Amino acid sequence: MVPNTPGTKRSCLMKLYRAYDTQSFWQTEKKIRVSLPLTRGPSAFIPEKEVMQANSLNERMHLLVEEYSISGRLDNITQVMSLHTQYLESFLRSQFYMLRMDGPLPLPYRHYIAIMAAARHQCFYLINMHVDEFLKTGGIPEWLNGLEYVPQRLKNLNEINKLLAHRPWLVTKEHIQKLVKTGENNWSLPELVHAVVLLAHYHALASFVFGSGINPERDLNTSNGYRLISVNSFCVCDLANDNNIENASLTSNNFGISDSLSELEALMNRMRRLQEEKEDEEASQEERNTRFEKEKTESLLVVTEAFDDEILSIADVSRYIEDPGFGYKDFARRGEEHLPTFRAQDYTWENHGFSLVNRLYSDIGHLLDEKFRMVYNLTYNTMATHEDVDTTMLRRALFNYVHCMFGIRYDDYDYGEVNQLLERSLKVYIKTVTCYPERTTKRMYDSYWRQFKHSEKVHVNLLLMEARMQAELLYALRAITRHLT
Protein backbone atom coordinates (compact mmCIF):
# COMPACT_ATOMS: atom_id res chain seq x y z
CA MET A 1 0.00 0.00 0.00
CA VAL A 2 1.27 3.46 -0.85
CA PRO A 3 1.76 5.66 2.25
CA ASN A 4 -0.99 8.27 2.55
CA THR A 5 1.19 11.38 2.76
CA PRO A 6 0.71 14.82 1.16
CA GLY A 7 3.58 14.15 -1.25
CA THR A 8 2.06 10.82 -2.26
CA LYS A 9 -1.32 12.49 -2.75
CA ARG A 10 0.18 15.01 -5.11
CA SER A 11 2.04 12.39 -7.15
CA CYS A 12 -1.03 10.13 -7.35
CA LEU A 13 -3.18 13.04 -8.42
CA MET A 14 -0.77 14.16 -11.10
CA LYS A 15 -0.39 10.64 -12.53
CA LEU A 16 -4.15 10.19 -12.71
CA TYR A 17 -4.70 13.60 -14.26
CA ARG A 18 -2.17 12.93 -17.02
CA ALA A 19 -4.14 9.81 -17.93
CA TYR A 20 -7.24 11.74 -18.89
CA ASP A 21 -8.00 12.22 -22.57
CA THR A 22 -9.31 15.57 -23.71
CA GLN A 23 -11.67 15.87 -26.63
CA SER A 24 -12.36 19.55 -27.03
CA PHE A 25 -10.71 22.57 -25.49
CA TRP A 26 -13.83 24.20 -24.10
CA GLN A 27 -16.04 21.21 -23.31
CA THR A 28 -13.31 19.19 -21.62
CA GLU A 29 -10.27 21.32 -20.85
CA LYS A 30 -12.33 23.85 -18.92
CA LYS A 31 -13.89 21.22 -16.68
CA ILE A 32 -12.31 20.49 -13.32
CA ARG A 33 -10.19 17.34 -13.55
CA VAL A 34 -10.46 15.22 -10.47
CA SER A 35 -11.08 11.66 -9.35
CA LEU A 36 -13.28 8.89 -10.68
CA PRO A 37 -16.13 7.69 -8.46
CA LEU A 38 -15.30 4.96 -5.98
CA THR A 39 -18.83 3.52 -6.03
CA ARG A 40 -21.49 2.77 -8.61
CA GLY A 41 -24.78 4.57 -8.74
CA PRO A 42 -25.83 8.19 -8.22
CA SER A 43 -24.51 8.45 -4.66
CA ALA A 44 -21.34 7.42 -2.86
CA PHE A 45 -23.32 7.32 0.40
CA ILE A 46 -26.47 5.44 -0.62
CA PRO A 47 -26.52 1.87 -2.01
CA GLU A 48 -27.21 1.92 -5.74
CA LYS A 49 -29.99 -0.67 -5.53
CA GLU A 50 -31.97 1.47 -3.08
CA VAL A 51 -32.07 4.44 -5.44
CA MET A 52 -32.54 2.31 -8.56
CA GLN A 53 -35.42 0.40 -7.01
CA ALA A 54 -37.22 3.63 -6.13
CA ASN A 55 -36.60 5.07 -9.60
CA SER A 56 -37.85 1.97 -11.42
CA LEU A 57 -41.23 2.38 -9.76
CA ASN A 58 -41.38 6.11 -10.26
CA GLU A 59 -43.15 6.99 -13.52
CA ARG A 60 -43.81 10.52 -12.27
CA MET A 61 -40.08 11.20 -12.00
CA HIS A 62 -39.47 10.37 -15.66
CA LEU A 63 -42.30 12.69 -16.73
CA LEU A 64 -40.80 15.47 -14.62
CA VAL A 65 -37.36 14.96 -16.16
CA GLU A 66 -38.82 15.18 -19.67
CA GLU A 67 -40.57 18.44 -18.81
CA TYR A 68 -38.13 20.25 -16.53
CA SER A 69 -34.64 18.75 -16.82
CA ILE A 70 -32.02 21.32 -17.82
CA SER A 71 -29.62 18.77 -19.26
CA GLY A 72 -32.30 16.58 -20.86
CA ARG A 73 -31.06 13.56 -18.93
CA LEU A 74 -31.76 11.84 -15.63
CA ASP A 75 -28.85 13.22 -13.62
CA ASN A 76 -27.63 11.92 -10.28
CA ILE A 77 -29.08 14.79 -8.23
CA THR A 78 -32.53 14.08 -9.67
CA GLN A 79 -32.19 10.35 -9.01
CA VAL A 80 -31.38 10.90 -5.34
CA MET A 81 -34.06 13.57 -4.89
CA SER A 82 -36.58 11.25 -6.53
CA LEU A 83 -36.76 9.41 -3.20
CA HIS A 84 -39.14 12.33 -2.48
CA THR A 85 -41.06 12.87 -5.72
CA GLN A 86 -43.39 15.52 -4.30
CA TYR A 87 -40.46 17.71 -3.41
CA LEU A 88 -38.62 16.89 -6.64
CA GLU A 89 -41.42 18.43 -8.69
CA SER A 90 -41.20 21.72 -6.77
CA PHE A 91 -37.41 21.73 -7.05
CA LEU A 92 -37.28 21.05 -10.79
CA ARG A 93 -40.00 23.58 -11.59
CA SER A 94 -38.29 26.39 -9.68
CA GLN A 95 -34.84 25.55 -11.05
CA PHE A 96 -36.16 25.34 -14.61
CA TYR A 97 -37.86 28.72 -14.19
CA MET A 98 -34.73 30.50 -12.93
CA LEU A 99 -32.51 28.96 -15.65
CA ARG A 100 -34.74 28.70 -18.72
CA MET A 101 -37.90 30.80 -18.52
CA ASP A 102 -38.28 34.52 -19.22
CA GLY A 103 -36.37 36.58 -16.72
CA PRO A 104 -34.17 39.66 -16.33
CA LEU A 105 -30.87 37.89 -17.06
CA PRO A 106 -29.59 36.42 -20.36
CA LEU A 107 -29.30 32.61 -20.32
CA PRO A 108 -25.46 32.48 -20.39
CA TYR A 109 -25.30 34.88 -17.43
CA ARG A 110 -27.50 32.52 -15.41
CA HIS A 111 -25.17 29.57 -15.89
CA TYR A 112 -22.04 31.62 -15.29
CA ILE A 113 -23.51 32.85 -11.99
CA ALA A 114 -24.23 29.21 -11.10
CA ILE A 115 -20.55 28.43 -11.78
CA MET A 116 -19.44 31.33 -9.58
CA ALA A 117 -21.72 30.16 -6.76
CA ALA A 118 -20.62 26.51 -6.94
CA ALA A 119 -16.96 27.56 -6.99
CA ARG A 120 -17.26 29.05 -3.50
CA HIS A 121 -17.55 25.45 -2.22
CA GLN A 122 -15.32 23.79 -4.84
CA CYS A 123 -18.41 21.91 -6.06
CA PHE A 124 -16.94 20.50 -9.26
CA TYR A 125 -20.09 18.54 -10.03
CA LEU A 126 -22.13 21.73 -10.41
CA ILE A 127 -19.30 23.71 -12.00
CA ASN A 128 -18.87 21.20 -14.78
CA MET A 129 -22.60 20.81 -15.32
CA HIS A 130 -22.95 24.54 -15.88
CA VAL A 131 -19.82 24.86 -18.00
CA ASP A 132 -21.71 22.61 -20.43
CA GLU A 133 -24.95 24.59 -20.14
CA PHE A 134 -23.14 27.94 -20.40
CA LEU A 135 -21.69 26.90 -23.77
CA LYS A 136 -24.95 25.32 -24.98
CA THR A 137 -26.83 28.57 -24.35
CA GLY A 138 -24.37 30.64 -26.36
CA GLY A 139 -21.94 31.70 -23.65
CA ILE A 140 -18.62 33.21 -24.79
CA PRO A 141 -16.02 30.44 -24.35
CA GLU A 142 -13.27 32.85 -23.26
CA TRP A 143 -15.24 33.65 -20.09
CA LEU A 144 -14.35 30.14 -18.88
CA ASN A 145 -10.73 31.26 -18.59
CA GLY A 146 -11.72 33.18 -15.47
CA LEU A 147 -13.20 36.36 -14.07
CA GLU A 148 -10.66 38.61 -15.77
CA TYR A 149 -12.33 37.68 -19.07
CA VAL A 150 -15.94 38.43 -18.06
CA PRO A 151 -17.81 41.76 -18.16
CA GLN A 152 -17.12 43.98 -15.15
CA ARG A 153 -20.74 43.84 -14.02
CA LEU A 154 -20.51 40.05 -13.61
CA LYS A 155 -17.20 40.43 -11.83
CA ASN A 156 -18.86 42.91 -9.47
CA LEU A 157 -21.01 40.06 -8.06
CA ASN A 158 -17.94 38.60 -6.36
CA GLU A 159 -18.44 40.35 -3.03
CA ILE A 160 -22.09 39.44 -2.59
CA ASN A 161 -21.36 35.88 -3.81
CA LYS A 162 -18.67 35.54 -1.16
CA LEU A 163 -20.77 36.97 1.66
CA LEU A 164 -23.96 35.07 0.85
CA ALA A 165 -22.04 31.79 0.61
CA HIS A 166 -20.21 32.10 3.91
CA ARG A 167 -21.41 35.01 6.10
CA PRO A 168 -24.72 36.33 4.76
CA TRP A 169 -25.34 38.42 7.90
CA LEU A 170 -22.66 40.83 6.62
CA VAL A 171 -24.68 41.80 3.53
CA THR A 172 -25.84 45.43 3.86
CA LYS A 173 -27.75 47.98 1.80
CA GLU A 174 -24.35 49.49 0.90
CA HIS A 175 -23.49 46.31 -1.02
CA ILE A 176 -26.76 46.65 -2.92
CA GLN A 177 -26.23 50.34 -3.63
CA LYS A 178 -22.76 49.65 -5.00
CA LEU A 179 -24.19 47.16 -7.50
CA VAL A 180 -27.17 49.22 -8.68
CA LYS A 181 -25.53 52.64 -8.75
CA THR A 182 -25.75 54.49 -12.06
CA GLY A 183 -23.08 53.53 -14.58
CA GLU A 184 -22.34 51.27 -17.50
CA ASN A 185 -21.71 48.27 -15.21
CA ASN A 186 -24.71 48.70 -12.94
CA TRP A 187 -27.37 46.07 -12.21
CA SER A 188 -31.07 46.80 -12.33
CA LEU A 189 -32.95 45.62 -9.24
CA PRO A 190 -34.79 42.85 -11.16
CA GLU A 191 -31.45 41.61 -12.55
CA LEU A 192 -29.88 41.69 -9.10
CA VAL A 193 -32.76 39.78 -7.51
CA HIS A 194 -32.48 37.13 -10.25
CA ALA A 195 -28.72 36.89 -9.59
CA VAL A 196 -29.22 36.65 -5.81
CA VAL A 197 -31.79 33.85 -6.22
CA LEU A 198 -29.33 31.94 -8.43
CA LEU A 199 -26.44 32.44 -6.00
CA ALA A 200 -28.48 31.27 -3.00
CA HIS A 201 -29.87 28.32 -4.97
CA TYR A 202 -26.47 27.02 -6.00
CA HIS A 203 -24.75 27.62 -2.68
CA ALA A 204 -27.52 25.53 -1.09
CA LEU A 205 -27.49 22.92 -3.85
CA ALA A 206 -23.75 22.45 -3.27
CA SER A 207 -24.68 21.51 0.31
CA PHE A 208 -27.04 18.86 -1.03
CA VAL A 209 -24.47 17.51 -3.51
CA PHE A 210 -21.82 17.02 -0.84
CA GLY A 211 -24.25 15.98 1.90
CA SER A 212 -25.72 13.25 -0.30
CA GLY A 213 -22.39 12.09 -1.74
CA ILE A 214 -23.52 12.75 -5.33
CA ASN A 215 -21.31 10.85 -7.77
CA PRO A 216 -19.97 12.11 -11.12
CA GLU A 217 -22.22 11.73 -14.13
CA ARG A 218 -21.45 9.08 -16.68
CA ASP A 219 -20.46 10.75 -19.95
CA LEU A 220 -20.33 8.83 -23.19
CA ASN A 221 -18.17 11.57 -24.68
CA THR A 222 -15.16 10.85 -22.48
CA SER A 223 -12.81 7.92 -22.79
CA ASN A 224 -13.26 6.69 -19.23
CA GLY A 225 -17.04 7.06 -19.23
CA TYR A 226 -17.20 9.76 -16.59
CA ARG A 227 -17.27 13.50 -16.58
CA LEU A 228 -14.33 15.07 -14.82
CA ILE A 229 -16.15 15.80 -11.58
CA SER A 230 -15.00 15.45 -7.99
CA VAL A 231 -16.14 12.84 -5.50
CA ASN A 232 -15.79 14.44 -2.11
CA SER A 233 -14.24 12.89 0.99
CA PHE A 234 -11.74 10.48 -0.55
CA CYS A 235 -8.26 11.07 -1.87
CA VAL A 236 -7.63 9.67 -5.32
CA CYS A 237 -4.74 7.84 -3.67
CA ASP A 238 -7.43 5.37 -2.63
CA LEU A 239 -7.78 4.47 -6.30
CA ALA A 240 -4.07 3.81 -6.59
CA ASN A 241 -4.15 1.79 -3.37
CA ASP A 242 -7.17 -0.20 -4.57
CA ASN A 243 -9.12 0.88 -1.50
CA ASN A 244 -12.87 0.82 -1.83
CA ILE A 245 -15.38 3.01 -0.10
CA GLU A 246 -16.19 0.41 2.50
CA ASN A 247 -12.56 0.15 3.57
CA ALA A 248 -12.26 3.91 3.58
CA SER A 249 -14.98 4.79 6.02
CA LEU A 250 -17.85 2.37 6.49
CA THR A 251 -15.92 0.24 8.94
CA SER A 252 -15.23 3.26 11.13
CA ASN A 253 -18.71 2.87 12.62
CA ASN A 254 -18.48 -0.18 14.85
CA PHE A 255 -21.86 0.33 16.47
CA GLY A 256 -24.15 -2.57 17.13
CA ILE A 257 -27.76 -2.78 16.04
CA SER A 258 -28.86 -2.71 19.67
CA ASP A 259 -27.05 0.62 20.17
CA SER A 260 -28.80 2.08 17.13
CA LEU A 261 -32.18 0.83 18.29
CA SER A 262 -31.68 2.27 21.76
CA GLU A 263 -30.75 5.63 20.19
CA LEU A 264 -33.95 5.55 18.14
CA GLU A 265 -36.09 4.71 21.16
CA ALA A 266 -34.41 7.44 23.19
CA LEU A 267 -35.19 10.01 20.48
CA MET A 268 -38.80 8.88 20.32
CA ASN A 269 -39.08 9.19 24.11
CA ARG A 270 -37.60 12.70 24.07
CA MET A 271 -40.10 13.77 21.41
CA ARG A 272 -42.99 12.43 23.48
CA ARG A 273 -41.71 14.11 26.63
CA LEU A 274 -41.23 17.47 24.91
CA GLN A 275 -44.75 17.30 23.50
CA GLU A 276 -46.17 16.59 26.96
CA GLU A 277 -44.19 19.45 28.51
CA LYS A 278 -45.34 21.84 25.79
CA GLU A 279 -48.96 20.94 26.48
CA ASP A 280 -48.49 21.45 30.23
CA GLU A 281 -46.62 24.76 30.20
CA GLU A 282 -44.93 26.81 27.46
CA ALA A 283 -41.65 28.62 28.10
CA SER A 284 -41.79 32.38 28.56
CA GLN A 285 -40.45 34.71 25.86
CA GLU A 286 -37.49 35.61 28.08
CA GLU A 287 -36.66 31.94 28.57
CA ARG A 288 -36.90 31.30 24.84
CA ASN A 289 -34.51 34.16 24.11
CA THR A 290 -32.07 32.81 26.68
CA ARG A 291 -32.22 29.33 25.16
CA PHE A 292 -31.60 30.76 21.67
CA GLU A 293 -28.48 32.60 22.88
CA LYS A 294 -27.30 29.43 24.62
CA GLU A 295 -27.84 27.32 21.49
CA LYS A 296 -26.15 29.94 19.29
CA THR A 297 -23.13 29.98 21.61
CA GLU A 298 -23.01 26.20 21.90
CA SER A 299 -22.92 25.93 18.11
CA LEU A 300 -19.37 27.32 18.44
CA LEU A 301 -18.41 24.11 20.18
CA VAL A 302 -19.68 21.96 17.30
CA VAL A 303 -16.40 21.38 15.50
CA THR A 304 -16.20 19.73 12.09
CA GLU A 305 -13.54 17.19 11.19
CA ALA A 306 -10.01 18.24 10.23
CA PHE A 307 -9.77 18.89 6.54
CA ASP A 308 -6.87 18.70 4.11
CA ASP A 309 -7.25 21.66 1.74
CA GLU A 310 -4.36 20.28 -0.30
CA ILE A 311 -6.57 17.71 -2.01
CA LEU A 312 -8.84 20.39 -3.42
CA SER A 313 -6.16 22.95 -4.20
CA ILE A 314 -5.05 20.96 -7.27
CA ALA A 315 -8.32 21.67 -9.04
CA ASP A 316 -8.31 25.30 -10.04
CA VAL A 317 -11.65 26.85 -9.18
CA SER A 318 -10.01 30.11 -8.16
CA ARG A 319 -10.46 31.53 -11.65
CA TYR A 320 -14.18 31.81 -10.92
CA ILE A 321 -13.92 33.51 -7.51
CA GLU A 322 -11.92 36.06 -5.55
CA ASP A 323 -10.64 35.69 -1.98
CA PRO A 324 -10.87 31.86 -1.99
CA GLY A 325 -9.71 31.71 1.63
CA PHE A 326 -12.82 33.53 2.86
CA GLY A 327 -15.15 31.05 4.60
CA TYR A 328 -17.82 30.58 7.23
CA LYS A 329 -17.13 32.16 10.60
CA ASP A 330 -19.40 31.39 13.54
CA PHE A 331 -22.03 34.08 13.91
CA ALA A 332 -21.66 34.00 17.70
CA ARG A 333 -17.83 33.92 17.81
CA ARG A 334 -16.71 35.21 21.17
CA GLY A 335 -14.37 38.13 21.66
CA GLU A 336 -15.47 39.87 18.46
CA GLU A 337 -17.84 42.71 17.69
CA HIS A 338 -21.35 41.63 18.59
CA LEU A 339 -23.65 41.22 15.60
CA PRO A 340 -27.34 41.86 16.17
CA THR A 341 -29.54 38.80 15.96
CA PHE A 342 -31.86 38.66 12.94
CA ARG A 343 -35.32 38.47 14.52
CA ALA A 344 -37.33 36.46 12.01
CA GLN A 345 -40.51 38.28 13.01
CA ASP A 346 -39.02 41.62 11.89
CA TYR A 347 -38.39 40.41 8.35
CA THR A 348 -40.11 37.20 7.39
CA TRP A 349 -40.11 35.31 4.12
CA GLU A 350 -43.92 35.14 4.15
CA ASN A 351 -44.60 38.83 4.84
CA HIS A 352 -41.61 40.58 3.33
CA GLY A 353 -39.19 38.49 1.24
CA PHE A 354 -41.86 36.73 -0.81
CA SER A 355 -43.60 39.91 -1.98
CA LEU A 356 -40.33 41.71 -2.78
CA VAL A 357 -38.84 38.90 -4.83
CA ASN A 358 -42.13 38.33 -6.64
CA ARG A 359 -42.47 42.01 -7.48
CA LEU A 360 -38.97 42.30 -8.95
CA TYR A 361 -38.73 38.82 -10.51
CA SER A 362 -42.21 37.77 -11.51
CA ASP A 363 -43.54 34.40 -10.25
CA ILE A 364 -40.27 33.11 -8.76
CA GLY A 365 -41.62 34.00 -5.32
CA HIS A 366 -44.55 31.60 -5.76
CA LEU A 367 -42.25 28.80 -6.91
CA LEU A 368 -39.79 29.31 -4.06
CA ASP A 369 -42.57 29.56 -1.51
CA GLU A 370 -44.07 26.31 -2.75
CA LYS A 371 -40.67 24.63 -2.47
CA PHE A 372 -40.02 25.92 1.07
CA ARG A 373 -43.47 24.83 2.24
CA MET A 374 -43.17 21.46 0.53
CA VAL A 375 -39.91 20.45 2.23
CA TYR A 376 -40.95 21.85 5.62
CA ASN A 377 -44.28 20.01 5.65
CA LEU A 378 -43.17 16.85 3.86
CA THR A 379 -43.79 13.80 6.03
CA TYR A 380 -44.64 10.13 5.73
CA ASN A 381 -45.38 9.89 9.47
CA THR A 382 -42.57 7.41 9.92
CA MET A 383 -39.27 7.27 11.81
CA ALA A 384 -37.11 4.32 10.81
CA THR A 385 -39.29 1.29 11.65
CA HIS A 386 -41.96 3.28 13.50
CA GLU A 387 -45.19 4.37 11.83
CA ASP A 388 -47.87 6.94 12.70
CA VAL A 389 -45.28 9.34 14.10
CA ASP A 390 -45.72 13.13 14.07
CA THR A 391 -42.29 14.38 12.97
CA THR A 392 -43.20 18.10 12.94
CA MET A 393 -41.07 18.81 16.00
CA LEU A 394 -38.02 17.13 14.51
CA ARG A 395 -38.34 18.86 11.13
CA ARG A 396 -38.68 22.24 12.78
CA ALA A 397 -35.61 21.61 14.96
CA LEU A 398 -33.52 20.81 11.87
CA PHE A 399 -34.70 23.89 9.96
CA ASN A 400 -34.36 26.27 12.90
CA TYR A 401 -30.92 24.98 13.90
CA VAL A 402 -29.58 25.96 10.46
CA HIS A 403 -31.08 29.43 10.86
CA CYS A 404 -29.64 29.65 14.39
CA MET A 405 -26.11 29.13 13.00
CA PHE A 406 -26.80 32.07 10.66
CA GLY A 407 -28.03 34.27 13.53
CA ILE A 408 -31.76 34.05 12.78
CA ARG A 409 -34.08 33.73 15.80
CA TYR A 410 -37.78 32.78 15.91
CA ASP A 411 -39.44 34.31 18.97
CA ASP A 412 -42.14 31.65 19.00
CA TYR A 413 -39.69 28.72 19.07
CA ASP A 414 -38.23 27.03 22.14
CA TYR A 415 -34.58 26.38 21.28
CA GLY A 416 -34.34 23.94 24.17
CA GLU A 417 -35.90 21.46 21.72
CA VAL A 418 -32.81 21.60 19.50
CA ASN A 419 -30.56 20.25 22.24
CA GLN A 420 -33.10 17.61 23.14
CA LEU A 421 -33.68 16.34 19.60
CA LEU A 422 -30.39 16.77 17.74
CA GLU A 423 -27.56 14.57 18.96
CA ARG A 424 -24.00 15.83 18.72
CA SER A 425 -23.06 13.72 15.67
CA LEU A 426 -26.11 15.11 13.83
CA LYS A 427 -25.15 18.67 14.79
CA VAL A 428 -21.64 18.10 13.42
CA TYR A 429 -23.16 16.80 10.19
CA ILE A 430 -25.60 19.73 9.92
CA LYS A 431 -22.91 22.33 10.53
CA THR A 432 -20.57 20.71 8.02
CA VAL A 433 -23.16 20.28 5.26
CA THR A 434 -24.52 23.79 5.77
CA CYS A 435 -21.36 25.80 6.43
CA TYR A 436 -18.47 23.73 5.01
CA PRO A 437 -20.17 21.29 2.61
CA GLU A 438 -16.94 20.39 0.80
CA ARG A 439 -15.71 18.80 4.07
CA THR A 440 -18.58 16.32 4.33
CA THR A 441 -17.51 12.68 4.61
CA LYS A 442 -19.33 9.38 4.48
CA ARG A 443 -18.30 8.76 8.07
CA MET A 444 -20.28 11.85 9.11
CA TYR A 445 -23.28 10.71 7.06
CA ASP A 446 -23.16 7.25 8.63
CA SER A 447 -22.59 8.49 12.17
CA TYR A 448 -26.08 9.80 12.93
CA TRP A 449 -29.51 8.11 12.95
CA ARG A 450 -28.01 4.73 12.16
CA GLN A 451 -31.40 2.96 12.14
CA PHE A 452 -33.05 5.45 9.80
CA LYS A 453 -33.64 4.83 6.10
CA HIS A 454 -31.49 6.56 3.49
CA SER A 455 -34.60 8.30 2.17
CA GLU A 456 -35.03 9.89 5.62
CA LYS A 457 -31.45 11.14 5.55
CA VAL A 458 -32.03 12.58 2.09
CA HIS A 459 -35.05 14.36 3.58
CA VAL A 460 -32.70 15.84 6.19
CA ASN A 461 -30.44 17.08 3.39
CA LEU A 462 -33.40 18.67 1.60
CA LEU A 463 -34.38 20.49 4.80
CA LEU A 464 -30.81 21.72 5.33
CA MET A 465 -30.57 22.88 1.71
CA GLU A 466 -33.81 24.86 1.80
CA ALA A 467 -33.14 26.31 5.26
CA ARG A 468 -29.79 27.54 4.03
CA MET A 469 -31.24 29.02 0.86
CA GLN A 470 -33.98 30.81 2.79
CA ALA A 471 -31.44 32.22 5.28
CA GLU A 472 -29.32 33.66 2.46
CA LEU A 473 -32.37 35.14 0.76
CA LEU A 474 -33.63 36.74 3.98
CA TYR A 475 -30.37 38.62 4.50
CA ALA A 476 -30.07 39.65 0.83
CA LEU A 477 -33.71 40.71 0.45
CA ARG A 478 -33.63 42.62 3.74
CA ALA A 479 -30.63 44.57 2.41
CA ILE A 480 -32.51 45.32 -0.82
CA THR A 481 -35.56 46.44 1.17
CA ARG A 482 -33.39 48.80 3.23
CA HIS A 483 -31.92 50.17 0.00
CA LEU A 484 -35.42 50.90 -1.27
CA THR A 485 -36.59 52.66 1.92
Please identify every residue annotated as catalytic.
123
408-409 and 342-343 as β-strands: parallel, antiparallel, unpaired? parallel
* Cα distances (angstroms) measured from residue 434 to each of 166, 210, 233, 253, 344: 10, 10, 16, 23, 19
Residues 6+ apart with CB under 8 A from 319: 145, 146, 147
Instruction: Report H helices in 378-415.
Output: 392-405
* Closest alpha carbon to 23 in 262, 220, 310: 220
What is the C-alpha separation between 464 and 433, in angstroms, rounded?
8
* DSSP-assigned states of every residue in 59-116: HHHHHHHHHH-SSSS--HHHHHHGGGHHHHHHHHHHHHHHHHSS-SS-HHHHHHHHHH
In whole angstroms, give the CA distance from residue 350 to residue 172. Answer: 21
The helix (H) or strand (E) run that includes residue 262 is helix 257-280
